[in-house]
Structure 1
Amino acid sequence: MWQLLLFNVTNGLIIGAFYVLMALGLSLILNLSNVINFAHGGFLVIGGYIAYTITPYIGFWGALLLAPPLTAVIGLLVERVLIRPLYGRDPLYSLLLTFGLAFMIEDGTRFIFGPQGKPVTIPAFLAQPLSNELFFITGYRLFMVAVVMIAVALLFCLLRYTRLGIRIRAGTLDLDTVAALGINVQMLRSLNFAVGIFLAGLSGVLAAGQLGLEPTMGTGLLMPSFIAIIVGGIGSLPGTLAGGLLIGVASGLTAVFFPAASEAVIYVMMAVVLLLRPRGLFGEEGMMS
């Protein structure tokens, strides 16, 4: 029984790590630009397929280093051409745009790479389990958790200790004042968008090594990532981190006792949080209004 429990908790933590990376990127873009980026899962897919394409030439480690920034560059182009003209307008416009863009990315990857799943080769030593008893804990799973922890730590250092991060945090609170101080708000939004898309690309590479690739993989991670933001609290990056891990572990634990409810439980958690604390666990008053 303990092995089954540990197996599902481990799975929940791994999926929760993907939720965290996705949700942090979503939250960054939403907090500063007020854009509900439904194409975020599509950028995860782009990152994964870039890694799949370049891995035969530069190996897994090279793909891990190169695919996320390439995905961020694509995100910058999308932001500049499609999303920037919608700033200042009703958020519904950007929501509909990114919703359509998500379908375009999904169909585009299906057209280019086919509907069948694609494997991404990982180093052989990472595929080995820790022991016969803990066969479900592989080196790659531990590696993924370590990469997510490092990425989250670097993100919070960026936001706290760099000029760009301080401006992003200030713009989240009062973008008009930031603009009045002479800061290029358009560039700030673009760089912030690129950071969020970078996290999606990194999540795509890691997910490709664990789950394999398919055009619809981003869709399965997108809605739970939004739920992580709502549970943790809109406007709170630490809350988003906590929300992603909470719903991942809750889903894993529920799978032990009520497997059929393993997906529904995260929506139940969201409903309970909204009823008891509408601003989320760590959100600020008024962010949900």
Structure 2
Amino acid sequence: MLQLVLFNVTNGLIIGAFYVLMALGLSLILNLSNVINFAHGNFLALGGYIAFVLTPYIGFWGALLVAPILTAVLGFVVERLMIRRVYSRDPVYSLLLTFGLAFIIQDVCRYIWGPNGLPMTVPDVLAQPLSQNLFFITGYRVFMVAVVIIAVAGLFAFLRFTRVGIRIRAGTLDLDTVAALGVNVGLLRSLNFAVGCLLAGLAGVLAAGQIGLNPNMGDDVLMPSFIAIIVGGVGSLTGTLLGGLLIGVAGALTTIVWPAASEAVIYVIMLVVLVVRPRGLMGEEGMLT
């Protein structure tokens, strides 16, 4: 029984880590630009496919570094060419735009790489289990968690200690004042969107090594990522982090006693949080903490 609990907790932490990366990127974009990016899961798939293409040339480690950056560049271009044109309009325009963009990216991936799943090779040193008793904890799983921790710490350091990060935090509080101080708000939004896509691309590379690649791979984590933002609190990156881990572990533990409810439980958690604390666990609208 203990081994079963450990197995599900481990799975929950892995799934929660993906939710965290995705939700943090979504939260960044939502907080600054007020855009609900329905294409975010497809940027995850792009990151995975880019890594798949690069791996034969620069290896897994090189692809892990380069693929998220290239995904961020693609996100920057998409924001400059399309997303920025709907900022001044009703939010429903950005929602519809990103919803349509999601289908376009998905079909492009399906056309180029096919509809079937593709395997992503990881280094042999990461593929081995840590022990015979803990056969379900492989080096790659530990590596994924470590990368997510480093990425989250790097994001928080970026937002707190860099000029661009400080401007992003200020923009979530009062974008008009930031613009009045001479900051190029258009470029700031583009860079912020790119950072969000970078996190999605990183999640895509890590997910590809764990579950393989397919054009729909981002769909399963998109809605839980939105729920993580709601549970943690819109405007709070710390809350988003906690929300992602909470729903990931809760869903995995529910599998032990009631497998059929493993997906429904995250919606129950969201309902309870909204009833008890409508702002979310740590939410305060318009603030990054």
The two structures have a TM-score, normalised by structure 1, of: 0.98
The two structures have a TM-score, normalised by structure 2, of: 0.98
Moved more, 184-193 or 103-112: 103-112
Q: Could you tell me which residue of structure 1 aligns to residue 251 of structure 2?
A: 251
Note closer, same or farther for the CA distance 1:14–1:124 as it changes in structure 2 (3 Å cut).
same
Which digits, 9 at most, give the CA deviation of each residue in 1:69-100, with x for residues without a partner?
00000001100011011112111100000001
Distance 2:215 2:194 in 1: 22
Distance 2:198 2:285 in 1: 29
Q: Could you tell me which residue of structure 1 aligns to residue 116 of structure 2?
A: 116
Q: Specify every segment of 5 or more residues in structure 2 that has no aligned partner in the other structure, as ranges.
A: none
Which digits, 9 at most, give the CA deviation of each residue in 1:118-156, with x for residues without a partner?
111000010000011100000000000000000000000
Q: Could you tell me which residue of structure 1 aligns to residue 52 of structure 2?
A: 52
The answer to whether structure 1 residue 196 and structure 2 residue 182 are counterparts is: no
Contact 1:60/1:121, CA 8 A, preserved across alignment: yes
Q: Could you tell me which residue of structure 2 aligns to residue 28 of structure 1?
A: 28
Q: Specify every segment of 5 or more residues in structure 1 that has no aligned partner in the other structure, as ranges.
A: none
Q: Give the match's secondary structure for 1:284.
A: coil
Distance 2:19 2:177 in 1: 32
Contact 1:118/1:212, CA 8 A, preserved across alignment: yes
Distance 1:215 1:2 in 2: 36
Distance 1:88 1:275 in 2: 32
Q: How many residues get paired?
A: 287
Contact 2:129/2:135, CA 8 A, preserved across alignment: yes
CA shift at 1:107, angstroms? Answer: 1.3
Q: Could you tell me which residue of structure 1 aligns to residue 13 of structure 2?
A: 13
Amino acid at match of 2:141: R
Q: Could you tell me which residue of structure 2 aligns to residue 42 of structure 1?
A: 42
Contact 1:26/1:40, CA 8 A, preserved across alignment: yes
Q: Give the match's secondary structure for 1:217.
A: coil
The answer to whether structure 1 residue 183 and structure 2 residue 173 are counterparts is: no
Note closer, same or farther for the CA distance 1:62–1:48 as it changes in structure 2 (3 Å cut).
same
Amino acid at match of 2:56: P
Note closer, same or farther for the CA distance 1:251–1:56 as it changes in structure 2 (3 Å cut).
same
Contact 1:42/1:219, CA 8 A, preserved across alignment: yes
Contact 2:48/2:205, CA 8 A, preserved across alignment: yes
Q: Could you tell me which residue of structure 2 aligns to residue 72 of structure 1?
A: 72
Contact 2:235/2:285, CA 8 A, preserved across alignment: no
Amino acid at match of 2:180: A
Q: Percent identity?
A: 77
The answer to whether structure 1 residue 211 and structure 2 residue 197 are counterparts is: no
Distance 1:89 1:236 in 2: 25
RMSD value, Cα: 1.0
CA shift at 1:112, angstroms? Answer: 1.1
Contact 2:239/2:281, CA 8 A, preserved across alignment: yes
Amino acid at match of 1:196: G
Which digits, 9 at most, give the CA deviation of each residue in 1:245-286, with x for residues without a partner?
000000010001100100110011111111111110000169
Contact 1:39/1:98, CA 8 A, preserved across alignment: yes
Distance 2:243 2:11 in 1: 16
Contact 1:279/1:286, CA 8 A, preserved across alignment: no
Contact 1:9/1:249, CA 8 A, preserved across alignment: yes
Q: Give the match's secondary structure for 1:164.
A: helix
Distance 1:59 1:158 in 2: 27
Amino acid at match of 1:80: R
Contact 2:235/2:284, CA 8 A, preserved across alignment: yes
Contact 1:26/1:196, CA 8 A, preserved across alignment: yes
Alignment of 1:231-250 (within 5 A): 231-250=231-250
Q: Could you tell me which residue of structure 1 aligns to residue 168 of structure 2?
A: 168
Q: Could you tell me which residue of structure 2 aligns to residue 4 of structure 1?
A: 4
> Which ranges of 4 or more aligned residues in structure 1 deviate by more than 3 Å?
none
The answer to whether structure 1 residue 100 and structure 2 residue 100 are counterparts is: yes
Distance 1:183 1:286 in 2: 19
Distance 1:165 1:75 in 2: 18
Distance 2:276 2:133 in 1: 41
